[in-house]
Structure 1
Amino acid sequence: MMAILDENSREQVLALCGGIGGAKLALGLYRTLAPGRLTVAVNTGDDFSHLGLHVSPDIDTVAYTLAGLNDTERGWGLAGETWHFMEALGRLGGETWFQLGDHDLATHVLRTRRLAAGETLSQVTSAMAGRLGLHARLLPMSDDPVRTLVDTEEGRLAFQNYFVEHHCRPRVTGITFAGAEAAKVQEDVLALLGDGALAAIVICPSNPYLSVDPLLAIPGLREALKASPAPVVAVSPIVGGRAVKGPTAKIMEELGLPVSSRAIAEHYGDLLDGFILDDADAADATGLGVPAVATRTLMETLDDRERLARSVLNFASGLRRHP
């Protein structure tokens, strides 16, 4: 088999991705692979309607990141953003807990109008990726609505209320994906999984419980991933017993799980053919039931992102595929 990183290879790579953490590796894969070889299936459980607009935070984060337009300081939104709309909204007594930048606002307005006109989220996302000049396919996990709901000791909260409005403060007791049972996997994702040209499936280091599980909750996706001839490799979001960013560690503790890369691998279970974890957690690499490799997974620079992407793809090249 031709190595995935061979510049003459036309084999495809599918990445499953959430927002900020996953987008970093997605960028590394995007810059490492030849144009047209990467497809990113993005979590839409975070989507919600705000101020009458359809907001798709993870799709936008991945799109802005791949296009080199993201704000690397905040980790979300557009670089060089201004906030005059939010300032004016606040003066009028409007909701300001969820920040919509002046430039970012154009994305949400256009998406909302096109959806209202009958386009699917896939069509809108593809058009946006094209306008941003992306040479990768960017796909929502489904064109049907799936919404992440977080059960807490203070009651059930929609994801953005938990994550942004309440700053992940309430103690989590459970997570539900409303609408998942009736949703269908995005058709191009399913087609790619059945394609013999797919070389690797990468589960990016997004929050497994909030960003990857919404994808896996859609009927048929887990089964299609397992049936694909391509190896499935996950990258742990845990480094040295801590989450690099976001509430992953906090949620694991509150759900009674050990905060470890081993627990992440066990969470994905028989879906995996390989697992990558940080050097700081190398002890967790043994006894997982699948090949595992320890490397530096912290992505502080662009070089870090590309280096990790090459490590992931090289590792996948040497794995036994599903029988």
Structure 2
Amino acid sequence: MDKLTFQNTYHLIKPYIHRTPVLTSQSLNAICETEIFFKCENFQKTGAFKMRGAVNAILSLTDVQRSKGVVTHSSGNFAQALSLAAKNLNVKAYIVMPSNAPKVKKEAVKNYGGIIIECDPNINARENEALRIQKEKKATFIHPSNHDAVIYGQGTAAIELLEDYGDLDYIFTPVGGGGLLAGTILAANYFSNGCKVIAGEPEEADDAYRSLISGNIEINKTSNTLADGLRTHLGDRNFPIIKEYVEEIIRVDEKEIIKAMQLIWERMKIIIEPSSAVAVAAVLKDKKRIKNKKIGIIISGGNIDVSNLPF
């Protein structure tokens, strides 16, 4: 992975994505005693950063591969992103979704033209069903996070943030599958002057935290967290990047996630989903480190069932 490929990725996907705004909040700066710059990927197409990686992954395919379609497994945000990216590029998309994925995300996938195949809500079922479709349809499998083109694509959000604010001390992201975190780390390494990257992770799905301790990719035995987008685990493409370069992974509990989510809704008047709130919760938990620093936060998405809010 290199800087030139990163730059080429950014220019390649530009016509297919939004350059999302960076917002600030004086009240949140006061609460944290720092300056915070929110990269609002909740305003991205499909409501999450994953449109970036999805577009880049499909654009990296040959014409023959595109003609046979793509397949992925996802609880929602990458499912939506790949569906819309495929629709825009005239490619068929097969989407394996766990049966407990939020209804709002399933409906969005259908609206974007994705073909949904439901499975049991565990990683083995997701992977096995995606493999079955890959063999049956000859479709190309695109992993939501453990894929080089996806990692490069997701990292372009941090590139834009650093173009706007090049003197950040830290960037915080959530971590689930690891694509956004790995891409952000690479962007910080290539396009900043020493900016460090910290991840927030739910205590109820803390496989990335445990992976750093053991040095191996760990799996969650349970994933009882509101942050449905973070219930997956790291992969062999993104874990080496994370293991070598991430500054820290901060675990937050469900109450802290809800508090952070509510705070953003109330103070900034924008909709963020629980997975996004995990990164905010990590900042709120780490006030001593960030005091008087310049902090970037990737607000990863805003797809949530507003009829089923946790507050």
Short-chain TM bin? 0.3 to 0.5
* Structure ID, larger Rg: 1
Give the structure-1-normalised TM-score: 0.35
